[in-house]
Amino acid sequence: MNTAAKLSAYGAALVLVAGGAWATGTAVGPFTGEAGALGGEEAGHEGTHSDTVAEAASKDQPGGLASSLGGYTLTPTATTLTPAASSTFSFRISGPDGLPVTAYDVEHEKRMHLIVVRRDTAGFQHVHPDLGADGTWTVQLTLPQAGSYRAFADFAPTGGQPTTLGVDLVVPGDFQPVAYAASRVSEVDGFRVRLDGELTAGQSSKVTLTVTKDGREVTDLQPYLGAYGHLVALRGGDLAYLHVHPDGTPGDGKTPAGPSVVFYAEVPSAGTYRLFLDFRHDDKVRTAEFTVATSGASVPTQQPPAAGDGHGAHG
């Protein structure tokens, strides 16, 4: 599948870690059918916008900035989770009629993709909740470190446009932010993943991820959600969200199973992005992480945590 970037939108902007700064976002309350703040949708799809002030901004608004869009609203049952414990996270998507949505299209083998990441982009998770008959999505989450997290719900309601909504979650405790330097090589479970290519704001940019292990090219990647890799980019400053699927499809007779996976990403603006590649090998999904600035920009200098500090203490 030769696609450009798929751009999805979420709620409430917050400043990403820069020099150790952070903030806690606003949590959404009990289930309601009312629309909230403005957001955007996946690239290539025009949203249905009401005339409310909350949705009066441009349809070209970058992703990652709203919990309500085009009549669809994400509402969790709770927004505070216990650190280092498996917690049940439940939420609903209400539609333009104010009722819970119960019919969803399958997108990349799932009806719901939930991305959870801390506001400093630590602790990235990509999970798939289960849908109840009443429209409630449920999944077990373990968030080991204290801090403010963002949960992104990526879905396509049957009869509607593909949409992504987001909400902030809180894990109480002593928060210690993680500083990230520019990085184009990621080491995970003995695998080495290299990122080649430049991100250019407003243009489709070719990005190639190459996977090796023990110095040898990995040529037997396994399909994961219908592709050899899934790439998520989060923009520094507000966590604007970009979900990109690779060029080619497993089994199409022309797309190799590694070592390289090619993506075409179109980031909305200049700046620094955190990139997360999910790939599958030996029946296990792993995530490689990168920190990349757009061409002509540079990654801001960040002070690392003091000696002895970790990703966050539990409280």
Arithmetic mean of pLDDT, 139-153: 95
User: Would you state the pLDDT for residue 11?
Assistant: 35
Q: Extract long-range pairs of 43-51: CB within 8 Å, 24+ residues apart.
A: 43/4, 43/5, 43/6, 43/7, 43/266, 44/4, 44/6, 45/161, 45/162, 46/161, 47/161, 47/163, 48/96, 48/160, 48/161
User: Would you state the pLDDT for residue 300?
Assistant: 74
* Fold exhibited by the domain 6-171: Immunoglobulin-like (2.60.40)
Enumerate the domain spans of the chain. 6-171, 185-293
* Fold exhibited by the domain 185-293: Immunoglobulin-like (2.60.40)
Question: Does pTM surpass 0.85?
Answer: no
With cut-offs at 50, 70 and 90, classify the pLDDT of residue 10.
very low
User: Would you state the pLDDT for residue 33?
Assistant: 30
- Quick check: do 6-171 and 185-293 share a fold? yes
Residue 242 has pLDDT above 70, yes or no: yes
pLDDT tens profile 100-125: 999 999 999 999 999 999 999 999 99
Arithmetic mean of pLDDT, 227-238: 92
